[in-house]
Amino acid sequence: MGGLFLILPVVAFDIWLSCTTGRRQLAQWRASRNWRHFAATAAAGLLLAIWLAFFVEYSSGAQLRVQGFPIPVAFFHLDEKTWTRTTPPRLLHVLGVAANFLTGLAAPFIPFKIAEFFKVVKAELK
């Protein structure tokens, strides 16, 4: 259950990003009736969510591969000439995949959060 210490902050960040910047951005798009930007962001988020949750694999050395980002949900170890798959317990695996999916959905709002930050800093400096 130690994996929850990694999963919970990631999920909390995703929810915070969606509730602050996501809601504000959606209200701006709705007010300006700019549905193309909303559709593009939603499509990018959905594609990124599927990719992060199910298809991302990266190498951490010559004998270790990891699946899932930002929460690793499967590990592959090279034993002799075969790759052996190891997964966390079922509950952590499901929560990790869900967290990766949420991260993909929330990730398109990160550039908007950065722009919002610079806007606030610029206003503070004046």
Q: How confident is the model at residue 103 (pLDDT cuts 50, 70, 90)?
A: very high
Burial of 73: CB neighbours in 10 Å, binned 0-12, 13-18, 19+: buried
Query: What pLDDT sits at residue 96?
Result: 95
Query: What pLDDT sits at residue 61?
Result: 87
Q: How confident is the model at residue 60 (pLDDT cuts 50, 70, 90)?
A: confident
pLDDT of 62 above 80:
yes
Residue pLDDT, tens place only, 3-35: 889 999 999 999 999 999 989 999 999 999 988
Its pTM surpasses 0.85: yes
Domain ranges within the chain, ordered by starting residue = 4-125
Q: Is 13 within 8 Å of 109 (Cβ atoms)? A: no
pLDDT of 120 above 90:
yes
Provide the strand spans (E) within the chain: 57-59, 64-67, 74-79, 82-86
Own/partner contacts of 30-38, CB < 8 Å, gap of 24 or more, are: none
Query: What pLDDT sits at residue 53?
Result: 94
Please provide the average confidence, as pLDDT, over all residues in the chain. Answer: 93
Q: How confident is the model at residue 48 (pLDDT cuts 50, 70, 90)?
A: very high
Integer Cα distance of 61 and 76 in angstroms = 11
